[in-house]
A = this chain, B = another copy of it.
Amino acid sequence: MLQNNENLMVPRKEREKHARQQEILQAARVLFAEKGYHDTTLEEIAHKAEFAKGTIYNYFANKDEMFYGIIENIFDEMDSITAAAMATAGASAREKLTAYAKAVIAHSMAHSDLFMLMIRQAHRQLTDEFDEKIKNLHERDLATRKTIAQVHAEEISNEHLKAYDPLEITFLFEGMLRSYCMYHIKARHQLTTAEIDRAAELIVAVYFDGIQNK
């Protein structure tokens, strides 16, 4: 029993450390999203996380690391959403993308702070291309996109879809989705589930059928 106790001892510490890291990231991401990276001070983050300034540095090497910690969280969440939506067995591309769109919109609405951070991060991704970490994020981003492209590819070979470059049109789809979310976040709209479903279906409808009346 004693040994059992000891075995559990180490994980508990680690779990607590991780939990506290997440608390700090929570505080930071809200502030970063509200005011931007530079206009958020460590003092504010510490205050919001209910720690002293110095304590933050027991959990993150510096402000930048915190930022990347947050971005990685976001990527993890987006990966889950993507994987879940694409994995539905027997579903068509249209069904999968509808599920994906619903999940993305719902997530964006629930975490509009994250959404805004993604936009900000987009900028950094464009500029600091030297940085190792940025490159990793870049690759993760592309990998996620390819998961979705793959779903297109299958149905293109079926001739259910037109023979576009799967990756290229995936970006277009993503663009519509992001644009839609940004529009409503800007306008501070709080969408109901029904509205989210309608929106997702609208986007998918336009994407698959176009806006032209035949």
Q: Residues of A with Cβ closer than 8 Å to B?
A: 34-38, 94, 116, 119-120, 122-127, 138, 152, 159-162, 164, 168-169, 171-172, 174-180, 182-183, 185-186, 202-203, 206-214
Q: In whole angstroms, what is the CA distance A27 to B174 when docked? A: 33
Residues of B within 8 A of A123 (CB): 36, 116, 119-120
> Assuming the A-B contacts A159-B213, A160-B212, A213-B160, are A34 and B178 also in contact, with contact meaning beta carbons closer than 8 angstroms in the complex?
no
Oligomeric state, in copies: 4
B37, B116, B164: which contacts A211 (Cβ < 8 A)? B164
Residues of B within 8 A of A122 (CB): 119, 182
Q: List 16 A-B contacts (CB under 8 A).
A: A34-B127, A116-B126, A120-B120, A126-B185, A161-B212, A162-B211, A164-B211, A168-B202, A169-B211, A174-B179, A175-B178, A175-B179, A175-B180, A178-B179, A208-B212, A209-B210
CB nearest to A39 among chain B residues: B38
Q: Known pairs A159-B213, A176-B176. 20 more at Cβ < 8 A? A: A36-B123, A36-B124, A37-B38, A116-B123, A116-B126, A116-B127, A125-B186, A138-B186, A161-B211, A162-B213, A168-B202, A171-B183, A172-B203, A175-B175, A175-B178, A175-B179, A206-B210, A207-B210, A209-B210, A210-B210
Least CB distance, A57 to chain B, in whole angstroms:
12
Q: In whole angstroms, what is the CA distance A176 to B127 when docked? A: 22
Q: In whole angstroms, what is the CA distance A161 to B119 when docked? A: 32
